[in-house]
């Protein structure tokens, strides 16, 4: 979809089954009794699929607006509690943050209006029926999705809108994130409390569902706050101060057999940059991907054919701010970034390197406080 990979977590099957059984065994038979059972199940299955497509439209809108505002998008994953568009970096300013966050609820609200209008038209032309009930349900759930996501608490879209507003008013990205994080934790604990109360009074299913959603909000809000604090801590530090210069490389012309049998590569790291004769980086090869190549193909298959393309590997220049690279590094499945200068490989940086820098900064901070 316009170069954006779409993935589905296994928990999407649980959501599909929940909607399918809930509507087929409860909602639809109660709204339109007397029909054959297969009609309820068919209508429920179609409704569940359209709902998942609505979630996808919500996330695609985030991804497309993010791209228009200069924020690269890795992929979109649908899962148990909705969807997640994985962005490689943060918005450059509060205006871009506001646009990226705000478009999702607007799309869900628009879908709700379209489904409601369509339900009204179908009812006016053909009378009430399963189609009208399905459209009405889709209208309601999309409006509910828009309203819930608009709550001013991280990691919801409303939390990002709050973050953009505070960022604009204070000029501090970190303070804005802290406010959204606190709001997210408060909302999460409120949902957990309401869920536990519902469990006590007998509404166990609804209560457990709210507890799960609340705990998810708490965890994600805390994670966003921690990542923001990390980026603030790394402010003013260049990539060159954290990278490993002159990393071990693999020639693009080497075969998979050469790569796997040479102990020089096998026992030091789990991934290596792949370069051509001029030391220009062309990708990244992992031991896992090389091991997956059938044994009979290894002597004839080059490393370049199996390596992760450079477009999928985070890259940076030595003088770039380290804080700007962190979100992209954390979002990448490669877990490392190549440092390039004029296309030539000059270093590599991993999440472990980031950890060593932060440990050094924390140690320096403790030493400074002790000497004061």
Asked if residue 138 and residue 16 are part of one domain, the reply reads yes
149: its two tokens: 């996501």
Asked if residue 301 and residue 203 are part of one domain, the reply reads no
Q: Is residue 156 part of a domain?
A: no
- Block residue for tokens 């170069």: 3
Domain boundary among 233, 251, 279: 233
> Number of structural domains, the chain?
3
Q: Is residue 162 part of a domain?
A: no
Q: State residue 311's pLDDT score.
A: 82
Strand locations in 209-335, DSSP E? 244-245, 250-251, 271-275, 281-286, 308-309, 315-316
Residues annotated catalytic, as ranges: 59
Asked if residue 341 and residue 279 are part of one domain, the reply reads yes
Asked if residue 354 and residue 306 are part of one domain, the reply reads yes
Helix orientation angle between 173-201 and 204-233, rounded to the nearest 10 degrees: 160
Asked if residue 201 and residue 122 are part of one domain, the reply reads no
Q: Is residue 366 part of a domain?
A: no
Q: State residue 372's pLDDT score.
A: 47
Q: Is residue 161 part of a domain?
A: no
Four-CA torsion 323, 326, 328, 331, nearest 10 degrees: -150
Domain boundary among 213, 233, 253: 233
Asked if residue 212 and residue 315 are part of one domain, the reply reads no
Q: What is the C-alpha to C-alpha distance for residues 79 and 149, in angstroms, rounded to an integer? A: 16
Reference 328, options 62, 156, 74; nearest CA is: 74
Asked if residue 26 and residue 125 are part of one domain, the reply reads yes
Asked if residue 146 and residue 9 are part of one domain, the reply reads yes
Asked if residue 143 and residue 18 are part of one domain, the reply reads yes
DSSP 10: T
Domain boundary among 150, 165, 187: 150
Domain that holds residue 52: 5-150
How do residues 340-358 score in pLDDT, each as one tens digit? 988 889 999 988 888 888 8
Q: What is the C-alpha to C-alpha distance for residues 4 and 74, in angstroms, rounded to an integer? A: 7
What is the full per-residue pLDDT of the chain (372 aa) written as tens digits? 556 778 877 778 888 888 888 888 887 888 778 788 888 899 999 999 999 999 999 989 998 998 888 887 777 878 766 777 777 667 788 899 999 999 999 999 999 999 999 999 999 888 778 889 999 999 999 999 999 999 998 888 999 999 999 999 998 888 888 899 999 999 999 999 999 999 999 887 778 888 988 998 898 888 878 877 777 777 778 888 888 898 888 999 899 998 888 777 766 678 889 998 888 889 999 888 888 899 898 999 998 898 998 888 888 888 888 877 877 777 677 788 999 988 889 999 988 888 888 877 766 544 444 444
Which positions ≥6 away from 314 have C-beta within 8 Å? 88, 325, 328, 329, 332, 334, 336, 337, 338
Asked if residue 247 and residue 229 are part of one domain, the reply reads no
Q: Is residue 281 part of a domain?
A: yes
User: pTM of this prediction?
Assistant: 0.73
């Amino acid at each position: 979809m316009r170069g954006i990979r779409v993935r589905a977590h296994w928990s999407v099957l649980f959501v599909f089954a929940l909607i399918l059984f809930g509507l087929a065994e409860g909602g639809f038979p109660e709204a339109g009794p007397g029909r054959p059972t297969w009609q309820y199940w068919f209508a429920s299955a179609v409704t569940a699929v359209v709902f998942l497509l609505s979630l996808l439209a919500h996330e695609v809108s985030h991804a497309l607006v993010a791209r228009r505002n200069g924020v690269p998008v890795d992929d979109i994953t649908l899962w148990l509690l909705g969807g997640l568009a994985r962005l490689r970096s943060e918005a450059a300013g509060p205006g871009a943050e506001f646009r990226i966050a705000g478009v999702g609820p607007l799309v869900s609200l628009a879908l709700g209006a379209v489904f409601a209008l369509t339900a009204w038209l179908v009812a006016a032309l053909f009378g009430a029926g399963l189609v009208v009930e399905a459209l009405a349900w889709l209208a309601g759930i999309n409006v509910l999705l828009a309203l819930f996501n608009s709550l001013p608490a991280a990691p919801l879209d409303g939390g990002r809108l709050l973050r953009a507003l505070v960022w604009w008013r204070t000029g501090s990205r970190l303070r804005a994130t802290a406010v959204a994080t606190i709001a997210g934790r408060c909302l999460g604990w409120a949902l957990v409390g309401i869920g536990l109360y519902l469990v006590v009074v007998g509404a166990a299913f609804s209560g457990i569902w709210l507890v799960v959603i609340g705990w998810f909000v708490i965890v994600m809000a805390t994670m966003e706050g921690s990542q923001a604090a990390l980026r603030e801590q790394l402010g003013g530090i260049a990539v060159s101060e954290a990278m490993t210069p002159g990393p071990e490389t693999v020639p693009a012309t080497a075969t998979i057999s050469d790569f796997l049998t040479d102990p020089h590569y096998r026992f030091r790291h789990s991934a290596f940059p792949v370069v051509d004769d001029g030391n220009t980086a062309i990708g990244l090869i992992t031991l896992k991907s090389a091991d997956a190549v059938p044994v009979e193909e290894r002597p004839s298959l080059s490393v370049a054919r199996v390596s992760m393309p450079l477009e999928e590997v985070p890259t940076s220049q030595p003088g770039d701010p380290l804080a700007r690279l962190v979100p992209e590094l954390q979002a990448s499945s490669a877990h490392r970034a190549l440092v390039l200068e004029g296309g030539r490989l000059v270093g590599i940086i991993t999440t472990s390197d980031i950890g060593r820098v932060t440990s050094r900064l924390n140690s320096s901070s403790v030493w400074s406080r002790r000497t004061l």
